Amino acid sequence: MTIHDFQSLDGVAYGERLERRLAAAKRAFTTRNVDLAAAARLVRSGRRPQAGDLILARVTGLGQHRRLENVHGRRGDLYEGDEIIIAYGNRYAPDQFEAYVPENLGPCHLVAGGGVAALVTSRHASIKPATRIEVIGALVRADGKAVNLADFALVPTQSSRPARVIAVVGSSMNAGKTTTVSGLIHGLSRAGFSVGAAKLTGTGSGGDLWSMRDAGAGLALDFTDAGHASTFGVSDEGLGHVAQLLLARLGAAGMDIAVVEIADGLLQRETAALALTGHARGWFDGFLFAAADAMGAAFGCEWLSKRGIAPLAISGLVTASPLAAREAAMATGIELADLASLRDPVAAARIAFSTPGMRVAA
Amino acid sequence: MPFLKPDLLAPASQPRFRPASHAAMPDCYIANVRPGQPVLVAVHGISRNAAEIAMRFALDPAFAGTTIIAPLFTREAFGQYQQLLARKSGQVRADDALLSLLDDLATEYGIAADRFALFGFSGGAQMAHRFAMFHPHRVRRLCVVSAGWYCMPHTDIAYPHGIGDGKGGAIVGPEFLDIPTTVIVGNRDTRVDASVRQDEIINLRQGRNRLRRARCYTRALRSYAQEQGKDSAPTLLTLPGMSHDFHQCVTEGGLLRIAAQALL
């Protein structure tokens, strides 16, 4: 439905017109848990957006993101003039954008293909300018409160977490964390376990969840299920809530083992905070460290070691190169697990149930 | 953090991987390791799901007071572990390897591994019942589940198909008959696929599928016990609706509850 169609619905009640307009818009993955019937009207100004607030926006100029992942995971083409339903959220992506929730409902950017709106403040040199959007209106309930992802988060459960939880952290974005997670899920599934998966931090996108499910995860959840479009800027307490909520949910679903991914690199604030809190609180039984190269592996393992964490193994892109893998092994003294090992049921179980030893070289 | 929930912490009884101290023993998964309590050795099948077996037992409340040991027998190091046969130079017989492992664990943890309960599933059941034949004084109770085929208590058939020594005698003594033994198999474990050996000598004495073979084995054990003047008799249990799937037998067939009755 175009804006013209919308305006031509003379005599149709506002609520029904809004419902039809929202139904016709391209709805992003990040909003998949939201019941749009909660939206009573659109607010066009006079309100400061919060992370997680839903908006109806119009694409005004195509840039880096020319596709939008819909609620079913299909990445559909975008066209200028398209109306889209997305959520505000900050973005921290060294390979793409740094972006923040704006202070008003003015024009901003589509900063993630999963459907995140923010204002870009910096971008990687090889990345195109962000796709531009204008906000048609924020979705608001009858009581004037914004429709926010947090309102549709999973309800906390008192279930125990899965008996074994392996956290995957990495040296940077695109170091091979998701490949590590998928490989380990596959190997452990073949080893006879019910494996659950969760992406605890990052920016809302279905790609990682789909790959977790494809690998054999019985249930895969992410922070959007906990009510966040992204976790950049979320407080330590908020991150802890996400982790505990998702782990308890995986436990309630009967998963034997959980493989969880913490996005970006260890130098990213939220990544470091959650890794250390999870370790200190006993939420994670072991860590895999995905490194892009040998130097990253050495630094990352030393970083973890100084904080009392010894990874079970090093994985990621570094394992694709025998020479780099050899360097990493010599520098750290820690076993390297390539993709074939992670996918192998015997090797995957051995890695997952190993006892971390403080074997990091000085 | 106000939302911290104690029940989100790891269960104390989860297993952990223990690498072998030397090449003549297998790696293993261990759980609930405490001196002075009963020991259960649980042996995997050819999928080598030792970790899964260890976890299922370790997290089952019935085995909370039992030290769980699940050895991991690789083909490279231990050959045909099911039949206790080392085929190549450098390989170690699985029974010798298991005994080395138990000695090592006893030294390290002070566990009482001189006598233990022995469980095996599929290929592990083959290994377990043969181990009991050769080392009856070490096995307190025996539970074999869904073995592909058995070492029949027939002296006219040579090992590993029977207990014959090839000269008309027995390769093992009759003491294994004194071990309380439970044989379990799913009543749907009748599919004959590539993993079910179809040697003529097996089919002739034991039948073609695992259900039939379990029945033949327990019947033969009873007969052999009578021949030996023993009143021992193995128990045969079938799991309704269960096929050849450890996970299914545990989650749907109540295998661990039955195994607890048989082993503890």
Q: Which domains does chain A have, with CATH numbers?
A: 3-152 (no CATH), 164-352 (3.40.50.300)
Domain limits, chain B:
12-263
Euclidean distance between CA atoms B181 and A294, whole angstroms: 54
Q: Tell me the chain B residues in contact with residue A248 when contact means C-beta distances shorter than 8 Å.
A: 5, 8
**What are the Cα distances from residue B204, in Å, to A353, B30, B234?**
43, 39, 22
For residue range B208-242, list pLDDT tens digits in order.
999 999 999 999 999 999 999 999 889 999 999 99
Give, as one character, the DSSP assignment of residue A38: G
Distance from CA of A4 to the nearest CA of B (A): 49
Write down the residue that tokens 């899965």 correspond to: A162
> In degrees to the nearest 10, what's the CA dihedral of B168, B172, B177, B179?
-170
With beta carbons less than 8 A apart as the criterion, state whether B70 and B43 touch. Answer: yes
Minimum distance, in Å, between the CA of residue A322 and any CA atom of chain B: 24
CA angle A323, A329, A331 (to 5 degrees): 105
CA proximity to A30, closest of A151, A157, A205, A259: A205
* Residues of B at the A interface, defined by Cβ within 8 angstroms: 1, 3-5, 7-11, 14-17, 27, 29, 47-52, 55, 59, 72, 74, 246-247
* CB half-sphere exposure, B28, CA atoms < 13 A: 28
CB proximity list for B6: less than 8 A, separation 6 or greater: none
**A6–B contact, CB cutoff 8 A:** no
Q: What is the mean pLDDT of chain A?
A: 94
Around B13, how many Cα atoms within 13 Å sit in the side-chain half-sphere? Answer: 17
Q: DSSP state, A146?
A: B
Test A192 with B49 for CB contact under 8 angstroms: yes
The nearest alpha carbon in chain B to A350 belongs to B17
Mean pLDDT of B171-198: 96
Q: What does DSSP assign to residue A160?
A: P
* Nearest Cα residue to A30 out of A240, A199, A218: A199
Give me the helix-helix angle, B123-134 and B94-109, nearest 10°.
Answer: 80
Two tokens, residue A111: 């900063």
Looking at the complex, report in whole angstroms how far the Cα of residue B1 sits from the nearest Cα belonging to chain A.
7
CB contact under 8 A, B51 and A352: yes
Residues of A (180-199) whose Cβ lies below 8 Å from B: 191-193
Quote the Cα angle for A214-A215-A220, to 5°.
75
Contact with chain B for residue A214, Cβ under 8 A: no
Residues sharing a CB contact under 8 Å with residue A132, sequence separation 6 or more, in sequence order: A59, A60, A61, A63, A107, A108, A109, A110
| Residue A5: predicted pLDDT | 47
DSSP letter for A148, please.
B
- The beta-carbon neighbor of B247 closest among A192, A283, A355 is A192
CATH topology of domain B12-263: Rossmann fold (3.40.50)
Three-state secondary structure string covering A9-24: CCCCCHHHHHHHHHHH
Q: Which residue in B7, B16, B55 is closest to A256 by CB distance?
A: B55
* DSSP β-ladder status, A131-140 and A41-43: antiparallel
d(CA B108, CA B97): 16
CB contact under 8 A, A282 and B10: yes
Q: What is the count of residue pairs from A and B with beta carbons less than 8 Å apart?
A: 84
CA B250 to chain centre: 15
Averages of pLDDT over each 10 residues, chain A, 362 residues: 50 88 98 97 95 98 98 96 98 94 98 98 96 98 97 91 96 93 98 97 94 98 97 95 95 96 94 95 95 96 95 97 96 95 98 74 36
Cβ-Cβ contacts under 8 Å for A345 (sequence gap 6 or more):
A187, A188, A190, A191, A192, B47, B48, B49
pLDDT at position A10? 62
Of B5, B15, B72, the CB nearest to A244: B5
Residues in chain B within 8 Å Cβ distance of A345: 47-49
Where does A226-268 have alpha helices with state H?
236-252
Decide if the complex's ipTM is over 0.90. Answer: yes
pLDDT tens per residue, range B59-108: 999 999 999 999 999 999 999 999 999 989 999 999 999 999 999 999 99
Reply yes or no on whether the pLDDT at B2 is more than 50: no
Contact criterion met (CB < 8 Å) for B27 and A345: no
**Å between B171 CA and nearest CA of chain A:** 34
| A160, A193, A345 member nearest B8 (Cβ) | A160
| Per-residue pLDDT, A158 | 83
Per-residue model confidence (pLDDT) at position A159: 84
A281 touches chain B (CB under 8 A): yes
Backbone torsions φ then ψ of A149, nearest 5 degrees: -55, -35
The pLDDT mean for chain B works out to 94
Chain-chain contact of B8 with A244 (C-beta, under 8 angstroms): yes
Residue A99 DSSP class: E
CA B11, CA A353: separation in Å to the nearest integer? 13
DSSP for residue A96: S
- Judged by a CB distance cut-off of 8 A, whether residue A87 touches chain B is no
Question: Quick check: A250 and A163 in contact, CB under 8 A?
Answer: no
Q: What is the pLDDT of residue A1?
A: 43
Amino acid in the structure at residue A305: S
| pLDDT given for residue B13 in this prediction | 79
Cβ contact (<8 Å) for A164 and B52?
no
B14 and A163 within 8 Å at the Cβ level: the answer is yes
Contact between A138 and A47 under an 8 Å Cβ cutoff? The reply is: yes
- SS3 assignment, position A317: helix
**One-character DSSP codes across chain B:** -TT--GGGSPPTT--EEE--SSTTS-EEEEES--TTS-EEEEE--TT--HHHHHHHHHHSGGGTTSEEEEEE--HHHHSBGGGTB--STT---HHHHHHHHHHHHHHHH----SSEEEEEETHHHHHHHHHHHH-GGGEEEEEEES-SS--BS-TTSBTTTBSB-SSSSBSS-GGGGGS-EEEEEETTTT---TTS---HHHHHHH-SSHHHHHHHHHHHHHHHHHHTT-----EEEEETT--S-HHHHHHTT-HHHHHHHHH-
Q: Do A192 and B47 touch (CB under 8 A)?
A: yes
Strands, E assignment, chain A: 26-27, 41-43, 54-61, 67-69, 75-77, 83-88, 91-92, 97-100, 108-112, 116-123, 131-140, 164-170, 195-199, 219-222, 257-265, 286-290, 313-315
Cα distance between residue A230 and residue A88, in whole Å:
9
